[in-house]
């Protein structure tokens, strides 16, 4: 009689473990999807901001045609790749981030432009959108890390293998400037 209870008990505990692990996996996968959607929202926002920025900047920057064209081209390319895989997208978006960074660096040479209210508002929006892309990427990568840990670690890896959970893909930015070591100032 006791043996039956023990067996039933073990089965129940196993079931609970499997359910808990499965639910945990589903939660993480949904979190990852949600985080990805967040990145998407911010990337779209950036596509929308760039034409406005170009309009404002054009009048001031007559001698920077190459820089401006690079941004426009990178934006169009990124928008084309919007339906592609995570890897493809991160490459296209890194390109755009780099082109925008170069444009904003050049702005320092145009004091008139820096005093333009319209430009200042756009710059704030652009800076913030860049930050938001960074933060949503950060959150997405954290989520992917947690999902991957759960998919690979015992005992949840068994549940993941049976129910067909796949590893998530990290969203990496491969621009050289972003890989630079952090600047630390002691002033």
Partner 1 sequence: MWEQIRDNQVRSVILTVAMGMVLLLLGYFLGLSFMGSGLGGLIIALAIWVIMSLVAYFQGDGIFLALSRARKISRDDHPRLYNIVEEMKIASGLEKMPDIYIIDDPAPNAFATGRNPDKAAVAVTSGLLQKLNRDELQGVIGHEIAHVRNRDVLLMAMCGVLLGTIVILAWYATRILFFSSMAGGRRSSSGGGQAQIIILAIGIVLMILAPIAAQFIYFAISRRREYLADASAALYTRYPEGLASALEKIAGSTAQLKSANQATAPMYTVNPFRKKGRVASDLTSTHPPISERVRILRAMAGASLADYEQAYRTAHGGQKGVVRGAAGLVGETGATGIRAASSEKGPVEKEDKVARTRETSDLVWRLNKYQTIDCDCGVRLRVPPKFKGEMVRCPRCGRVHSTR
Note the residues at the interface with partner 1 (CB under 8 A): 31, 35, 38, 42, 104, 121, 124-125, 127-128, 131-132, 134-136, 138-139, 141-143, 145-146, 149, 180, 182-183, 185
**Shortest distance (Å) from residue 35 CB to partner 1:** 7
**Shortest distance (Å) from residue 96 CB to partner 1:** 18
**Shortest distance (Å) from residue 139 CB to partner 1:** 5
> CB burial class (10 A; 0-12, 13-18, 19+) of residue 83?
exposed
Nearer Cβ to partner 1, position 77 or 173? Answer: 173
**Shortest distance (Å) from residue 13 CB to partner 1:** 21
Nearer Cβ to partner 1, position 80 or 152? Answer: 152
């Amino acid at each position: 009689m006791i043996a039956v209870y023990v067996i039933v008990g073990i089965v129940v505990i196993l079931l609970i473990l499997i359910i808990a692990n499965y639910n945990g996996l589903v939660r993480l996968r949904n979190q990852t999807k949600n985080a990805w959607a967040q990145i998407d929202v911010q990337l779209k926002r950036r596509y929308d901001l760039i034409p406005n920025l170009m309009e404002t900047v054009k009048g001031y920057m007559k001698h920077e045609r190459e820089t401006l064209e690079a941004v426009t081209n990178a934006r169009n390319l990124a928008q084309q790749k919007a339906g592609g895989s995570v890897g493809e997208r991160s490459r296209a978006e890194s390109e755009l981030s780099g082109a925008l960074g170069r444009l904003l660096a050049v702005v320092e040479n145009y004091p008139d432009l820096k005093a333009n209210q319209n430009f200042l508002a756009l710059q704030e929006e652009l800076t913030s959108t860049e930050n938001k892309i960074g933060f949503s990427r950060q959150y997405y990568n954290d989520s992917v890390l947690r999902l991957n840990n759960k998919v690979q670690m015992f005992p949840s890896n068994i549940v993941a293998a049976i129910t067909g959970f796949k590893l998530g893909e990290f969203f990496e930015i491969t621009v050289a400037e972003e890989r630079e070591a952090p600047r630390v100032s002691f002033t």
